[in-house]
C-alpha cells in the first residue's frame, strides 16, 4: 500500500520556524506512523537568506507569497508575525485552498473572525495552538477536551517574558531592564518587547482563550490592560511578607449577562499552585462545570516548546489528509457565524481585594485618616503593615490589604488618600485574587 506524502511550507525561519524544522528532522518514523503517511518540507520562505538553517532540500524563496502560490504545498505554516504582510499571506493561502497553521496571536486577536470565516468558506483549516501559552496544548484542551463543560473562568500566566521578569526580580533582585534583555536573547520576547511589557501580548492571548471558552466574538481591545512594568521590587517583597506572590495574569470570567476580561499584575496567595509557576513557564487555570478546577502548566515561549504546538496542528491536519478525510474546518470548535457577542463588564464595576502601598508621616492620626478614606467608600481593611520609622525618611511605607471592593470605589478612596497632607506621592494599587 502506498502512503500519502503531505507537503508543507514554512514562512519565517526565526526562533519558532527553526524549532519546527528541528522537530520535523527529529520526527522520523514516529512522525510518519502518527500521520499515517509522511510529511515533507517542500518550501521555505524568509525575507533574508538563512544559510545556517538546514531546510532539508526544500525550495527556498525570499517571497513568502511564493509558498501560498506553490501548488505542491498543502499546509502553510505562518511564522512571520505581525498583522500586515501576515494577514495578506494567510488570506492568499486560504484563497488558494491551503490549510494554514499559525502562531500569530496578534493577527488572530485583530482579524480572527474574518480569517476563521474565510477558512470555513474555503473548506480549509486555520489552526493556532502555538498562539497561546507556547507549548501548553490549551487551545485543544478548551476546544475539544473540555467540550462537555460550561467554562466559568479562565485565569492564566500567559506571557512567558513577563513571568520570567517577575521571577528573576523576586528571586535575585535583578533589574527589570536587565532581565528583559535576557528574555530577548533567549527568544522569549516579541520582536518589539513593548507588547510583552504593557500587557498587549497577554491580552491578545486572553481574547483567543475567552472566545473559545465562551463561544464569543471578542474585540482585541476589549480586555482591560495593566503591564508587568507597574510592579516595583518593593511590591514583590511586601507581597511576600503578607503571604502572596505577584503574577501577571489574564483573567476571563463569565458573569450573568457579561464577560470580565482583564490583564494585570495580581497578588495570589502563595499556597495556590499557580503562585508557584516561575520563570518562562505559563499556567492556565480553568474552572468548568464538569471537571472543576484544572491547571495546565508548561513552557510558555521559546523555540522548541512553541514548535511543539505548531507541530500538533500540522500533524492533526496531515493525519486527516493522509487518510483522505476532510479536516475539521471550525477553528473555534463551532462555526464562527454562530459565536455570541456578550457585553464586556466595564473595569470600574469589577470587584477584587486590593493591595495598596503609600508613604505616610509616622504620627498620631495618620492611620485613622487613611482608613477613614477607605471606609467612606465601604472598603474594609484585611491587614496592614507600617514599616518602622527611619531617621533617613520623613515618611514611612504603609502597606494595606483591603476587602473586596469595585475598582471605582478604590479609585475614589485612593484620590482622597493622595490628597491627605500626611501622605506623600501616589498610592501604588494592585489587585488581589484569592481564587
Ligand atoms: N513573547 C511571548 C511570551 C512569546 O513571552 O510569552 C510566546 O507567545
Mean pLDDT of 1-10: 90
For residue 27, the CA-to-ligand 1 centroid distance in Å is: 25
Please identify every residue annotated as catalytic. Answer: 205
For residue range 320-337, list pLDDT tens digits in order: 999 999 999 999 999 999
Going by pLDDT thresholds of 50, 70 and 90, the confidence category of residue 191 is: confident
Give the CA-trace dihedral at 266, 272, 277, 278, to 10 degrees. 60
Hey, which of 19, 159, 205 would you mutate to test ligand 1's pocket, going by the most ligand atoms within 8 Å of its Cβ?
A: 159
CB 40 within 8 A of CB 328: no
Check whether residue 162 and residue 277 sit in a common domain.
Answer: yes
Mean pLDDT of 192-209: 97
Mean pLDDT of 403-428: 96
For residue 80, the CA-to-ligand 1 centroid distance in Å is: 14
Check whether residue 282 and residue 403 sit in a common domain.
Answer: no
Mean pLDDT of 343-355: 98
Last residue within a domain, chosen from 338, 358, 389: 338
Q: Looking at ligand 1, which residue's alpha carbon is closest to its atom 7?
A: 301
- Structural domain contains residue 307: yes
Q: What CA–CA distance (Å, rounded) separates 325 from 353?
A: 51
Give the CA-trace dihedral at 314, 316, 320, 322, to 10 degrees. 50
For residue 184, the CA-to-ligand 1 centroid distance in Å is: 10
Going by pLDDT thresholds of 50, 70 and 90, the confidence category of residue 123 is: very high
The CATH number of whichever domain residue 195 belongs to comes to 3.30.360.10
Q: Please give the C-alpha separations between residue 165 and each of 173, 177, 253, 381, 433, in angstroms, as whole numbers.
A: 10, 9, 26, 30, 20
More confidently predicted of 385 and 346: 346
Q: What CA–CA distance (Å, rounded) separates 276 from 268?
A: 10
CB 394 within 8 A of CB 320: no
- Structural domain contains residue 391: yes
368 — alpha (psi -120 to 50), left (phi > 0) or beta? alpha
Question: Mapped to the 3 state alphabet, what secondary structure does 145-173 carry?
Answer: HCCCCCEEEEEEECCHHHHHHHHHHHHHC
With cell 498562539, the residue in question is 131
Check whether residue 86 and residue 126 sit in a common domain.
Answer: yes
Check whether residue 152 and residue 293 sit in a common domain.
Answer: yes
Residue 147 half-sphere exposure toward CB, CA atoms < 13 A: 8
Mean pLDDT of 167-176: 95
Pick from 177, 166, 181, 179: which is nearest to 237 by CA?
Answer: 166
Q: Looking at ligand 1, which residue's alpha carbon is closest to its atom 1?
A: 189
- Structural domain contains residue 142: no
- Structural domain contains residue 31: yes
Check whether residue 14 and residue 40 sit in a common domain.
Answer: yes
What is the predicted pLDDT for the residue at 388?
A: 75
Q: Looking at ligand 1, which residue's alpha carbon is closest to its atom 4?
A: 301
Mean pLDDT of 125-141: 98
Check whether residue 243 and residue 168 sit in a common domain.
Answer: yes
What ranges in 271-365 are assigned the alpha helix state H?
303-322
**CA 159 to ligand 1: nearest atom:** 6
Q: What CA–CA distance (Å, rounded) separates 199 from 317?
A: 32
Any residues with Cβ below 6 Å from ligand 1, and which? Answer: 134, 159-161, 188-190, 196, 201, 300-301
Question: Mapped to the 3 state alphabet, what secondary structure does 89-111 carry?
Answer: HHHHHHHCCCEEEECCHHHHHHH
CB 269 within 8 A of CB 275: yes
Q: What CA–CA distance (Å, rounded) separates 196 from 207?
A: 15
Check whether residue 328 and residue 281 sit in a common domain.
Answer: no
pLDDT of 389 over the 70 cut: no
Q: What CA–CA distance (Å, rounded) separates 202 from 254?
A: 18
Check whether residue 236 and residue 270 sit in a common domain.
Answer: yes
- pTM (two decimals): 0.97
Domain residues for the domain of 37 are: 5-134+303-338
Check whether residue 14 and residue 54 sit in a common domain.
Answer: yes
Hey, which of 182, 201, 209 would you mutate to test ligand 1's pocket, going by the most ligand atoms within 8 Å of its Cβ?
A: 201
Check whether residue 371 and residue 396 sit in a common domain.
Answer: yes
Mean pLDDT of 218-229: 97
Joined together, the cell numbers standing for residue 348 give: 470600574
DSSP, collapsed to helix, strand or coil, labels residue 398 as strand
What is the predicted pLDDT for the residue at 392?
A: 63
Check whether residue 169 and residue 288 sit in a common domain.
Answer: yes
The CATH number of whichever domain residue 332 belongs to comes to 3.40.50.720
DSSP readout, 38-68?
EEEEEEEE-SS--TTS--TT-EEES-THHHH
- Structural domain contains residue 140: no
Domain count, the chain: 3
- Any idea how long the chain is? 435
Going by pLDDT thresholds of 50, 70 and 90, the confidence category of residue 390 is: low
Check whether residue 283 and residue 316 sit in a common domain.
Answer: no
pLDDT of 1 over the 80 cut: no
Range of lowest pLDDT (54-68, 305-319, 382-396): 382-396
For residue 302, the CA-to-ligand 1 centroid distance in Å is: 8
- Structural domain contains residue 141: no
Last residue within a domain, chosen from 275, 299, 323: 299
What is the predicted pLDDT for the residue at 192?
A: 87
**CA 161 to ligand 1: nearest atom:** 5
- Structural domain contains residue 139: no
pLDDT of 128 over the 80 cut: yes
For residue 161, the CA-to-ligand 1 centroid distance in Å is: 6
**CA 130 to ligand 1: nearest atom:** 8
What is the predicted pLDDT for the residue at 349?
A: 97
What is the predicted pLDDT for the residue at 424?
A: 77
**Which long-range CB contacts under 8 A does 165-168 form with residues at least 24 apart?**
165/228, 166/228, 166/231, 166/236, 166/246, 166/247, 166/248, 166/265, 167/278, 167/279
The CATH number of whichever domain residue 394 belongs to comes to 3.30.70.260
- Structural domain contains residue 260: yes
For residue 300, the CA-to-ligand 1 centroid distance in Å is: 6
Hey, which of 106, 300, 305, 310 would you mutate to test ligand 1's pocket, going by the most ligand atoms within 8 Å of its Cβ?
A: 300
Helices 85-95, 105-122: inter-axial angle, 10-degree rounding: 20
Amino acid at each position: 500500500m502506498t502512503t500519502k506524502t503531505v507537503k508543507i511550507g514554512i514562512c519565517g525561519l526565526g526562533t519558532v520556524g527553526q524549532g519546527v524544522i528541528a522537530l520535523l528532522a527529529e520526527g522520523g518514523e514516529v512522525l510518519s506512523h502518527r500521520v499515517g503517511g509522511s510529511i515533507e518540507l517542500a518550501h521555505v520562505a524568509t525575507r533574508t537568506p538563512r544559510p545556517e538553517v538546514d531546510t532539508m532540500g526544500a525550495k527556498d524563496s525570499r517571497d513568502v507569497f511564493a509558498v501560498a502560490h506553490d501548488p505542491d504545498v498543502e499546509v502553510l505554516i505562518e511564522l512571520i508575525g505581525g498583522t500586515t504582510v501576515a494577514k495578506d499571506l494567510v488570506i492568499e493561502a486560504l484563497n488558494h485552498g491551503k490549510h494554514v497553521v499559525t502562531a500569530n496571536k496578534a493577527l488572530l486577536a485583530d482579524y480572527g473572525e474574518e480569517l476563521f470565516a474565510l477558512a470555513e468558506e474555503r473548506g480549509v483549516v486555520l489552526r493556532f495552538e502555538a498562539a497561546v501559552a507556547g507549548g501548553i496544548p490549551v487551545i485543544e484542551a478548551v476546544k475539544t477536551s473540555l467540550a462537555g463543560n460550561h467554562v466559568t473562568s479562565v485565569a492564566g500566566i500567559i506571557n512567558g517574558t513577563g513571568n520570567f521578569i517577575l521571577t528573576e526580580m523576586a528571586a535575585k533582585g535583578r533589574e527589570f531592564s536587565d532581565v528583559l534583555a535576557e528574555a530577548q536573547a533567549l527568544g522569549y520576547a516579541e520582536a518589539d518587547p513593548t507588547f510583552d511589557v504593557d500587557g498587549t501580548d497577554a491580552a491578545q492571548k486572553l481574547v483567543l482563550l475567552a472566545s473559545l471558552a465562551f463561544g464569543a466574538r471578542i474585540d482585541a481591545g476589549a480586555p482591560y490592560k495593566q503591564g508587568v512594568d507597574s510592579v516595583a521590587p518593593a511590591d514583590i517583597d511586601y507581597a511576600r511578607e503578607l503571604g502572596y506572590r505577584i503574577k501577571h495574569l489574564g483573567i476571563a470570567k463569565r458573569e450573568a449577562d457579561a464577560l470580565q476580561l482583564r490583564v494585570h499584575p495580581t497578588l495570589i496567595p502563595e499556597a495556590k499552585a499557580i503562585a508557584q509557576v516561575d520563570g518562562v513557564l505559563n499556567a492556565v487555570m480553568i474552572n468548568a462545570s464538569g471537571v472543576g478546577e484544572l491547571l495546565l502548566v508548561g513552557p510558555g515561549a521559546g523555540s522548541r516548546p512553541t514548535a511543539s504546538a505548531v507541530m500538533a496542528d500540522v500533524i492533526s491536519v496531515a493525519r486527516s489528509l493522509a487518510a483522505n478525510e476532510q479536516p475539521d474546518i471550525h477553528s473555534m470548535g463551532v462555526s464562527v457565524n454562530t459565536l455570541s457577542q456578550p457585553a464586556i463588564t466595564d473595569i470600574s464595576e469589577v470587584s477584587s481585594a486590593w493591595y495598596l502601598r503609600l508613604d505616610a508621616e509616622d504620627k498620631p492620626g495618620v492611620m485613622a485618616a487613611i482608613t477613614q478614606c477607605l471606609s467612606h467608600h465601604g472598603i474594609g481593611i484585611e491587614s496592614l503593615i507600617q514599616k518602622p520609622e527611619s531617621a533617613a525618611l520623613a515618611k514611612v511605607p504603609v502597606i494595606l490589604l483591603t476587602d473586596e471592593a469595585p475598582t471605582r470605589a478604590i479609585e475614589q478612596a485612593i484620590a482622597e488618600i493622595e490628597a491627605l497632607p500626611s501622605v506623600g506621592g501616589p498610592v501604588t494599587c494592585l489587585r488581589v485574587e484569592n481564587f
